[in-house]
Amino acid sequence: MATDYCSIPSTAHQDPELVSRKSKSENTIVSVNGIPIGGKEVIIMAGPCAVEKEEQLVQTARIVRAGGAAILRGGAYKPRTSPYSFQGLGLEGLQMLERAKKETGLSVVTEVMDTRQVEVVAKYADILQVGSRNMQNYPLLKEVGQYPKPILLKRGMMATIDEYLNAAEYVMAHGNPSVILCERGIRTFESSTRFTLDLNAIPLLKERTHLPVIVDPSHGTGIRTLVSPMARAAVAAGADGLLMEVHYRPEEALCDGSQSLYPDDFGLLVEDLRKVAEAIGRSIFKLKK
Amino acid sequence: MATDYCSIPSTAHQDPELVSRKSKSENTIVSVNGIPIGGKEVIIMAGPCAVEKEEQLVQTARIVRAGGAAILRGGAYKPRTSPYSFQGLGLEGLQMLERAKKETGLSVVTEVMDTRQVEVVAKYADILQVGSRNMQNYPLLKEVGQYPKPILLKRGMMATIDEYLNAAEYVMAHGNPSVILCERGIRTFESSTRFTLDLNAIPLLKERTHLPVIVDPSHGTGIRTLVSPMARAAVAAGADGLLMEVHYRPEEALCDGSQSLYPDDFGLLVEDLRKVAEAIGRSIFKLKK
Amino acid sequence: MATDYCSIPSTAHQDPELVSRKSKSENTIVSVNGIPIGGKEVIIMAGPCAVEKEEQLVQTARIVRAGGAAILRGGAYKPRTSPYSFQGLGLEGLQMLERAKKETGLSVVTEVMDTRQVEVVAKYADILQVGSRNMQNYPLLKEVGQYPKPILLKRGMMATIDEYLNAAEYVMAHGNPSVILCERGIRTFESSTRFTLDLNAIPLLKERTHLPVIVDPSHGTGIRTLVSPMARAAVAAGADGLLMEVHYRPEEALCDGSQSLYPDDFGLLVEDLRKVAEAIGRSIFKLKK
Amino acid sequence: MATDYCSIPSTAHQDPELVSRKSKSENTIVSVNGIPIGGKEVIIMAGPCAVEKEEQLVQTARIVRAGGAAILRGGAYKPRTSPYSFQGLGLEGLQMLERAKKETGLSVVTEVMDTRQVEVVAKYADILQVGSRNMQNYPLLKEVGQYPKPILLKRGMMATIDEYLNAAEYVMAHGNPSVILCERGIRTFESSTRFTLDLNAIPLLKERTHLPVIVDPSHGTGIRTLVSPMARAAVAAGADGLLMEVHYRPEEALCDGSQSLYPDDFGLLVEDLRKVAEAIGRSIFKLKK
């Protein structure tokens, strides 16, 4: 039986195919409840880092809906560096997301960390997020590749563009064509920011793949005052969407409060983004009432 | 219920405790079938990158046994950058490892990538390896933390020492005190080598934790000619063991052939390591017949 | 005499003062022949990487003048990785820059690499450039600090924001208040681009210093197709200017041809930049006839 | 005249020649007052980071002479991140080095930072050091290339092996064949150490060049307790020498005190290094009385 793969030389370079512009020249538009991700309109996704309690989630959801977001983000399962940090509310958090969705009409993106969680998360979420630390968790990529839900695949903090495209290829090769890429900061020597948000990835990815590319300036910088300028820059560089942390009371957040936008700042930022989008011939997507 | 964790401020720094030298000053010795990892003797673990077929595995196992290894490495489940690369033999590979173990008396270390695989891998392996790309796969860390098998936890290619110790803390906090740390190269700007093997991690980790620290110079450099000098250096810097790729026919290997040692070179290297170990008051562990 | 500095503990952290926003809250505007760098208007600096011959320089200068540039860039002394690469025309190159200036009315920025060259370069240039590889060449920083010419100080490819501000402090502490900062790409693990242009540096620097901040997307990416999107993004993020490579015939360039813009693309880019600048309440500076 | 270089295509890759093993297969031995650097014997260079005062220098020199060093290090011109930090004693420091040399018989290595300083430093020093921040200061490399003194060229903290060899080629191409390479730590994401000492550079450089390769574990780690294990590792990996900071009273040092070895530790370390060197068939060079 070894003969099957013995013919594959170990040095063979396997280029990603399904994700490549060479195999499909026009942009892929991932549709989420009628929201077209990857088209002419730029999509705003916003919400708290973690789902903490119903009041926090629903109030924040209303704020981001009013401010211009189309999709609500919020983690029910949280990857935390320390085992002693808040690990997320799990199923209870998913149910809160469902209620917030009903209240506001926003679609929901939330993270899945374990192959055994995919089924339950897929029941509640409109988009399944695979986080930076799991970008090369191949069993997870294969598993989400088999679900009929769009995947938001974050770039690993130490992943090259090549490795990133190969990770997306895993999802597509297992049957799921709806992959949204998301630059979220890479690790460099610079320590003034938590990560170095790499906007070069936007035009680079756009050249090589037909998949939508969005940017997370909140995790990508880790500093509240950098979120707005970097969000504007991401749109100017060609991003198809933004994923941002907004909290109704940042100073009370259980995680990442220092990078969450205040409600008012979020509204002002979306106004700015509208102007930048228009300057390059695009617009910000708006949910109908 | 939110009150439970609302008391945890989001900026609280959670220091790892169980892994810390402060909580246990003497070195932890992880015993694997009587092989003491973390003691005065340096342990040699060697074998092919991937289990490819029975002949390859058993012949390589005999070679490394004769050359001085106590533990056989070999992957049945392989994390590969491309979905089109050889992904490992799975269960069949585990069964081949079992036969190689019976033939040679070597203990076996092999990788587990998915929470759903832990049970079956634990049935065949003496040590469960969690790979670099899964160092922050928290569900996997929690799962292996509940099995009564030693864990070889590789450092993430992008992980700081702090993050690495926190990952080990996940395993210990879930009940498993037998964690072996393994430096395997970090990602830097240097492109002459595949990764930059970071030997500084040896004394740094030894200061902060009581856990054993081994080094993988094969993946850490990706270049065959660098394996021997870096293996000698690792022992001189205080490593408790080495994990190295040896293949009975490197040019036929299905993966990582260019960094696998030839059988003869492996034997000569272990002789050199013996001298370096003695120079610093240690020795190389030898399996009894 | 040792007592003078023995009182300075070796761990004393010396924060930069003169460059700091704390010491001067309003933006510094560096005036170059009436061109206000650091004000509301965004300044375009463009030209070839190296001065190669008079025809190339003058023709390129006319092209960038027509396209919207106010300042001509071009190296007479070139820092090259190999001693066998073209090292620049030296004095002859400076004289060509002078003629191009007379022909077009553009001001001139050119690099100085050696303390012994400062005097002659200062005779011909309107702005003295200190390159990335010399950002911590302290004798050179001290020397240019004593000349009455604005300094364009490029960020070292491996310099933190703190180190960068300290380098600018060297120039100011030696008497020269006219320092222009320039992000030009940092070195990271990513190999798809020559460097990783770090736009996060713009808002970060703007928070900490009153000095103007410009961006070089040509060296910062090393890829022609990335120059335009990253230039737009730089303006959206708040850059006070752009330094770009344009060559009248990129395929004939003696260095860095693959990242030089074609004349037509440059004109179109400046039109785009005008719209992005307006979207954020700024404009592109235009030289009077 | 432009025709001269127009024939050189801008993409031409200029490989270093003079430094290459291909052009000279046997090891270059740089002889400094009879001390053979690059031969079978490993050379110890030690002393304070900066020359502070005569007592400090001469006492430290005696200590390192007694402990096994053959060459005294000590900076008279210091590259410091902040303009307000101690910048070195200059000429006075060079004269103190001369007196320490007479007192102890040690040869002297000291840094030169400016093309205008080369003449005076060459009058006092046996080896001219070009520091990490000046590795690509090409005018300085050309200048020291014209002096009949060995050059200790430190690797830039951001330099690839290719760039490093090209920097050495600059010195050789300008007439000076006596170049000693020195790995001193590269910049990575890891923040537990000041730099990441890259021992992989030793075997990599040894494959590609005939020049001697030494290691500076003091600057390379920035942590006193790491100096000894990394020095042992460097010798085991094949280094031809070590450059280490020793201070007669580290807690009083004007710079880098926290990484300077105590006198007693230095003596014990050299004893250890002797054993490691013997384990790999080498020895530590000893000055005759």
pLDDT digits (tens, 9 = 90+) for B85-108: 999 999 999 999 999 999 999 999
Inspect the interface and report whether the beta carbons of C10 and D253 lie closer than 8 Å. yes
Chains that touch B (3 or more CB pairs under 8 A): A, C, D
pLDDT of residue A128: 98
Band (pLDDT 50/70/90 cuts) for residue B68 is very high
**pLDDT > 50? residue D7:** no
Per-residue pLDDT averaged across D89-97, rounded? Answer: 97
Per-residue pLDDT averaged across C200-205, rounded? Answer: 98
Residue A35 lies in a domain: no
pLDDT of residue B13: 54
Who wins on pLDDT, A93 or C253?
A93
Q: How far is A32 from chain B (nearest CA, A)?
A: 26
pLDDT of residue C2: 30
Band (pLDDT 50/70/90 cuts) for residue B9 is very low
pLDDT digits (tens, 9 = 90+) for A186-204: 999 999 999 999 999 999 9
Q: Does B85 touch chain C (CB under 8 A)?
A: no
Q: How far is A188 from chain C (nearest CA, A)?
A: 6
pLDDT of residue B200: 98
pLDDT of residue A201: 98
Chains that touch C (3 or more CB pairs under 8 A): A, B, D
From A203, A233, A279, residue closest to C199, measured CB to CB: A233
Would you say C150 and C173 are in contact if contact means Cβ atoms under 8 Å apart?
A: no
CA contacts within 13 A on the Cβ side of B125: 31
Q: Which residues make Cβ contacts (< 8 Å) with residue C77, sequence separation at least 6? A: C87, C88, C90, C93, C110, C111, C112, C113, C114, C117, C121
Q: Does C235 touch chain A (CB under 8 A)?
A: yes
For helices B201-208 and D224-237, give the axis angle rounded to 10 degrees: 140
Average pLDDT, chain D: 94
pLDDT of residue D15: 86
**pLDDT > 80? residue C259:** yes
Residue C245 lies in a domain: yes
Portion of chain A with pLDDT greater than 70, in percent: 96
pLDDT of residue C13: 54
Would you say B276 and B236 are in contact if contact means Cβ atoms under 8 Å apart?
A: yes
Average pLDDT, chain C: 94
pLDDT of residue D247: 94
Helical ranges in chain C per DSSP H: 3-6, 54-67, 91-104, 118-124, 138-144, 161-173, 201-208, 217-221, 224-237, 263-279
CA triple A42-C221-D190, angle to 5 deg: 95
Q: Where is average pLDDT lowest: A156-160, A238-242, B238-242, D3-7?
A: D3-7
- DSSP result, A24-69: --SPP-EEETTEEETSSEEEEEEE-SB---HHHHHHHHHHHHHHT-
Per-residue pLDDT averaged across C65-70, rounded? Answer: 98
Q: Does D16 touch chain C (CB under 8 A)?
A: yes
Report the 10 Å Cβ neighbour count for A146: 11
Residue D56 lies in a domain: yes
C239: which chain A residues are within 8 Å (Cβ-Cβ)? none
Per-residue pLDDT averaged across C161-169, rounded? Answer: 97
Would you say B126 and B150 are in contact if contact means Cβ atoms under 8 Å apart?
A: yes
Residue C168 CA to residue C189 CA, distance in Å, equals 27
Backbone angles phi, psi at D130, to 5 degrees: -105, 120
Would you say C98 and C124 are in contact if contact means Cβ atoms under 8 Å apart?
A: yes
Per-residue pLDDT averaged across C216-234, rounded? Answer: 97
pLDDT digits (tens, 9 = 90+) for C44-61: 999 999 999 999 999 999
pLDDT digits (tens, 9 = 90+) for D17-57: 999 999 999 999 999 999 999 999 999 999 999 999 999 99
Residue of C nearest to D134 (CA): C137
User: For the complex shown, is ipTM > 0.90?
Assistant: yes
pLDDT digits (tens, 9 = 90+) for C92-130: 999 999 999 999 999 999 999 999 999 999 999 999 999
Report the 10 Å Cβ neighbour count for B178: 23
Q: How far is B20 from chain D (nearest CA, A)?
A: 16
B189: which chain C residues are within 8 Å (Cβ-Cβ)? 158, 187-189
pLDDT of residue D13: 54
Inspect the interface and report whether the beta carbons of D163 and C81 lie closer than 8 Å. yes
pLDDT of residue C1: 26
The CA distances from residue A126 to A36, A155, B250, in Å, are 13, 20, 47
Inspect the interface and report whether the beta carbons of B139 and A158 lie closer than 8 Å. no
pLDDT of residue A61: 98
Band (pLDDT 50/70/90 cuts) for residue B12 is very low
Residue A143 lies in a domain: yes
Residue D238 lies in a domain: yes
Portion of chain A with pLDDT greater than 90, in percent: 91
pLDDT of residue B2: 29
Total domain count for chain D?
Answer: 1
Inspect the interface and report whether the beta carbons of D187 and A189 lie closer than 8 Å. yes
SS3 D77: coil
Residue A271 lies in a domain: yes
Inspect the interface and report whether the beta carbons of A188 and D191 lie closer than 8 Å. no
pLDDT of residue C239: 98
Q: Does B84 touch chain D (CB under 8 A)?
A: no
Per-residue pLDDT averaged across C235-264, rounded? Answer: 92
Residue A169 lies in a domain: yes
Q: Does C153 touch chain A (CB under 8 A)?
A: no
pLDDT digits (tens, 9 = 90+) for C74-95: 999 999 999 999 999 999 999 9
Average pLDDT, chain B: 94
B115: which chain A residues are within 8 Å (Cβ-Cβ)? 114-116
Band (pLDDT 50/70/90 cuts) for residue C147 is very high
pLDDT digits (tens, 9 = 90+) for A108-130: 999 999 999 999 999 999 999 99
Band (pLDDT 50/70/90 cuts) for residue A282 is very high
SS3 B52: coil
Inspect the interface and report whether the beta carbons of D226 and B233 lie closer than 8 Å. no
Band (pLDDT 50/70/90 cuts) for residue A256 is confident
pLDDT of residue B10: 40
Residue C11 lies in a domain: no
Band (pLDDT 50/70/90 cuts) for residue A13 is low
Which amino acid appears at position B50 of this protein? Answer: A
Portion of chain C with pLDDT greater than 70, in percent: 96
Per-residue pLDDT averaged across B139-151, rounded? Answer: 98
Q: How far is C82 from chain B (nearest CA, A)?
A: 18
Report the 10 Å Cβ neighbour count for D31: 12
Residue of A nearest to D196 (CA): A189
Q: Does D192 touch chain A (CB under 8 A)?
A: no
A155: which chain C residues are within 8 Å (Cβ-Cβ)? none
Inspect the interface and report whether the beta carbons of D191 and B234 lie closer than 8 Å. no
Per-residue pLDDT averaged across D118-128, rounded? Answer: 98
Band (pLDDT 50/70/90 cuts) for residue C11 is very low
**pLDDT > 80? residue B6:** no
pLDDT of residue A254: 84
For helices B263-279 and B54-67, give the axis angle rounded to 10 degrees: 30
Q: Which domain holds residue D83?
A: 29-284
CATH number at residue A118: 3.20.20.70
Q: Does D66 touch chain B (CB under 8 A)?
A: no
Q: How far is D226 from chain B (nearest CA, A)?
A: 6
Q: Does A235 touch chain C (CB under 8 A)?
A: yes
